[in-house]
A and B are shown apart, each in its own frame.
Chain A
Amino acid sequence: MSNAEQNQDYTSGEMMTVTAARALENGTTCFVGIGLPSEAANLARLTHAPDVVLIYESGTVQTRPKVLPLSIGDGELCETALTTVSVPEMFRYWLQGGKINVGFLGTAQIDRYCNLNTTLVGDYTSPKVRLPGGGGAPEIATNAGEVFITLKHSTRTFVDKVDFITTMGFGRDGKGREGVPNIGKGPTRVITDLCVMKPDPVTKELVVVSLHPGVTAEQVQEATGWEIRFAETLKSTSEPSAHELEVLRELKERTARAHTGQ
C-alpha cells in the first residue's frame, strides 16, 4: 500500500476498475473479457454508460448481468441477454463482421508494443509456467475497432519482451499492423492500478499519460520491465466518485454472495 493510499478511502484495485470503466463511452458495443474487464464493463453499464452493449464470447449479446460471471459462460449472462447466439456466429458475424467497437482484454504479460502473452512463461516446448492460451483474444485484437487492456502493474506483468505473442498489439517492432487491411486499430489504452498508458501515435510504444492519485513516476518505472516513457504533460487520473465506489462495492458483494451461495 502506498503512503497516499493510506489516506484514501478506496483501494488501488478500485481505482483501476473505475478508471477502466470510465474508458467505455455510453452506447459503445464492447466485447468483454472475463475478470477485470468484465468488472469494469459492468461498472460502466451501472454508472455512466447505461446503454453500453456488452457481448461475451459465449454468444450472449447485450447482456445485463446482476452479478459478475465467474466463467465466460455463466447462466446469468444468458438469462439477462437480449439474445444468445452460437459461438461460431459470435466470432464470425459479430466480431469478424465488424460490429464491435471495443474489445476489452486482460492479460498475463504485456510488452512495450502492447503484445499480450496468455500462453506460457519460458520456452514453448518446456514451459516454466503453462497459461490457459489464446481463447478469444487473438481475433478480438484483430477485429474489434480498438482494444482496451486492463491488468495489475508489476515487473511480472510488464515485461521487456513477452515470452510468446499470443495476441498482437503492434508486433515485436511496433509495425505489425502496418499495411494489414481490414483490421482494427489495436490497443488504444492500457489501464493499471498505477496509471493509464497509450501507444505513441507513430512508434506505438506505450507512454504513460496519466498517474493515479498518490502514485509517482518512480513507482511506475519500478513496476515496469523496461524504461517506460512518460508524456510531457502528465495528467493526474481523477479519483473515483462516492457513487462509483458504492456501485462497484455493491456489485462485488452481490457477486461474492452469489458465488458462495451454492
Chain B
Amino acid sequence: MANVLSLQEAVAMYVQDGATVCMEGFTHLIPFSAGHEVIRQKKRDLTLIRMTPDLVYDQLIGAGCAKKVIFSWGGNPGVGSLHRLRDAVEKGWPHQVEILEHSHAAMACAFEAGAAGLPLAVLRGYVGSELPNVNDQIKFIECPFTSERLAAVPSVRPDVSIVHAQKADRAGNVLVEGIVGVQKEAVLAAKHSIVTVEEIVDDLDTHPNACVIPGWAIDAIAVSEKGSLPSYAHGYYPRNNSFYKEWDAIARDRDAFTQWINDNVMQAGGNVG
C-alpha cells in the first residue's frame, strides 16, 4: 500500500547512492520536481534509465548525480543537444559518465519485459544498425519455432522508478492520462516506486479502461503541484516550450548551469521552469 510522504521523505527513503533509478514520462509528465529533490539530496553514482533523458537528466548529469545513463534518444526535443550530457560524455565534466544507448523500440520492450518479470525482451530490431557494436547489452537470438533472427535486450529492472501523474485517490491509486509512455511499465518493473501527483482527490472519476496503477503496487505517493514543469500535465498545464528553448543557452555554459541549479534547485524548495 502506498504511503503518502513528502517528496523529500520519499526520495530520502527510496533513492540510495549507487542505485539504478528510472524517472519516466515520454515528453509528458516528466518528474522534474522529483529529479530536483534528488539533486538537492546530492545523490551520487546513480545509473539513470530514461528513454529520452530530456532536461531532467541533463540537470542530474550536470549536477554530478549520474555514473551511467541508459537511454535511446538524448536530445532537447525540437531545440537541439543536451549540453550537460554532451559535456559529460565528450569532456568528462563534472566527471566521466558512461552511456549505454538503445533504440526506443528496444527500451520500450525492455520496460514491458521488466514489468512482466521476464529477464529479456525480444524484438525485430537493430537490423543492420551499428548500435550492437557499441552496446554489449544487445544480442541476437534465433526463434526456436521459425529460426528467425531476432534482437534481444535485458529487461529493465530499476531499484526505484519515479513517475509523475495527474492524481491519486486517498488509497494511493493513481490515474495517468494523456501520453502514458512507459510509466506504468516503469513502476511495475521496479523494486520500489515513487509517484508524484498534482493532487490527491476523493474520487479518481475514471472509466474502466483508464490507465490506473493500484496503490498497492506503489511504495510512495508525494503531492507535487506542477511537479512536471517545464514538461506538461495533460488537463492541468501546458508544456513550457519557451523554457526548453531557454535551457539551450543555460546548459551550454558550465557557470550558467551551476548558477541556475544553485538558484532554482539547491536554494529552492519548490517547482521551477
Contacts and interface: CB of A to CB of B under 8 A. Distances in A.
A65 interface: no
Given A87-B108, A133-B71, A58 B181 contact: yes
Interface stretch (B42-50, B74-82, B250-258): B74-82
Contact of B105 (A78, A91, A260): A91
B24 to A, nearest CB: 9
B185 A96 contact: no
A87 B181 contact: yes
Interface in A82-128: 84, 86-88, 90-92, 95-96, 115, 119, 124, 126-127
Q: DSSP class of A's interface residues: helix, strand, loop or mixed?
A: loop
Contact of A130 (B90, B124, B211, B239): B90
Interface in A70-85: 70-75, 77-79, 84
A42 B211 CA distance: 29
A162 to B, nearest CB: 9
A35 B78 CA distance: 7
Most buried by A among B102, B179, B180: B179
B217 interface: no
Contacts of A185: none
B238 A59 contact: no
Interface stretch (A22-30, A166-174, A189-197, A226-234): A166-174
Contacts of B123: 91-92, 96, 139
Contacts of A135: 52, 72-73, 103-104
A88 B134 contact: no
Size category of the binding interface on chain B: 35 or more
Nearest to A183: B127
A3 interface: no
A69 B79 CA distance: 12
A127 B241 contact: no
Given A75-B234, A78-B234, A87 B239 contact: no
Given A91-B104, A134-B104, A259 B124 contact: no
B32 interface: no
Contacts of B52: 135
B141 to A, nearest CB: 15
B71 A84 contact: no
A132 B74 contact: yes
A157 interface: no
B244 to A, nearest CB: 7
Contacts of A17: none
A108 B90 CA distance: 19
Contact of B182 (A69, A88, A141): A88
A72 B77 contact: yes
Contact of A134 (B73, B82, B124, B240): B73
Interface string B226-250: 0000001010001111111000000
B89 A130 contact: yes
Contacts of B211: 86
B126 interface: yes
Nearest to A57: B104
A177 B103 contact: no
Contacts of B82: 132
A91 B108 CA distance: 8
B208 interface: no
Interface of B: 26-28, 51-52, 71-75, 77-79, 81-82, 85-86, 89-90, 101-106, 108-109, 111-112, 123-131, 134, 148, 178-182, 184-185, 211, 232, 234, 238-244
Interface of A: 34-35, 57-60, 69-75, 77-79, 84, 86-88, 90-92, 95-96, 115, 119, 124, 126-127, 130-139, 141-143, 164-168, 171, 176-177, 180-183, 259-260, 262
13 contacts: A58-B27, A59-B179, A59-B180, A75-B178, A75-B234, A78-B178, A87-B108, A92-B109, A119-B101, A127-B89, A130-B90, A135-B104, A168-B127
The 10 closest A-B pairs by CB, nearest first: A73-B27, A168-B128, A132-B75, A71-B77, A135-B73, A70-B78, A139-B105, A91-B105, A138-B103, A88-B112
